[in-house]
Amino acid sequence: MKCDECGGPMTVEPNAVRRYDLGGLPHVELHGVEVMRCTACGSETIAIPRVAQLHRVLANRFVNQHRMLAPVEIRFLRKHIGLTGADFAQKMGVARETVSRWETGSNPIGALADRLLRMLVVHHEPSESYVVDDLLSELTDAPAPKKLLSVAIRNGGKSGWESESGRELAKA
């Protein structure tokens, strides 16, 4: 095997340990990767098997940790669920600049936004018409009405719960 940079010979180091700088996560170590290194110029190429599975494992780990998300984790999770900065800002109900500040670390993410991001990741499905996406895209900053919603149990509980509009919400 020849080096893409200089054409020199490459050596292979199986089961190596490397930081996941390429994935934007310098605090993550990958164990068991194959590293090809040029003996002439020192250039390295890392073979990462099953990248999609790796990203699911990392996303799950970040979502389940007991501390606030780090800026690089916020960016990773946003990209993992396939959102641009603008789309993510819209779903989170913040300005695009706020997302940029979270991802660079110049402004920490708040606790509620941290939790909302985790919920987006947990409930993410690779579908273009996902219920959470639809719900979040229709949210506005309009004030809540004084009377929020009326529900009533009908027919002594035999008919289940109904909202004012008559749509059935849940069986009793």
Q: Give tens-digit pLDDT for 110-142.
A: 999 999 999 999 987 543 433 444 445 555 666
Q: In this structure, are 135 and 83 located in the same domain?
A: yes
Q: In this structure, are 54 and 137 located in the same domain?
A: yes
Note the pTM of the prediction, 2 decimals.
0.69
User: Within a 10 A sphere around the Cβ of 70, how many other Cβ atoms?
Assistant: 17
Lowest-confidence region among 3-17, 62-76, 115-129, 145-159? 145-159
Q: In this structure, are 156 and 117 located in the same domain?
A: no
Residue with tokens 């996560």: 25
Q: In this structure, are 43 and 60 located in the same domain?
A: no
User: Within a 10 A sphere around the Cβ of 42, how many other Cβ atoms?
Assistant: 11
Q: In this structure, are 29 and 17 located in the same domain?
A: yes
Q: In this structure, are 100 and 161 located in the same domain?
A: no
Q: How does pLDDT run across 58-86, given as a tens digit for each residue?
A: 998 999 999 999 999 999 999 999 899 99
Structural domain harbouring 162: 143-172
What is the tally of structural domains in the chain? 3
Q: In this structure, are 110 and 98 located in the same domain?
A: yes
E strands present in 9-122: 10-20, 25-38, 44-47
CA distance 11 to 39: 7
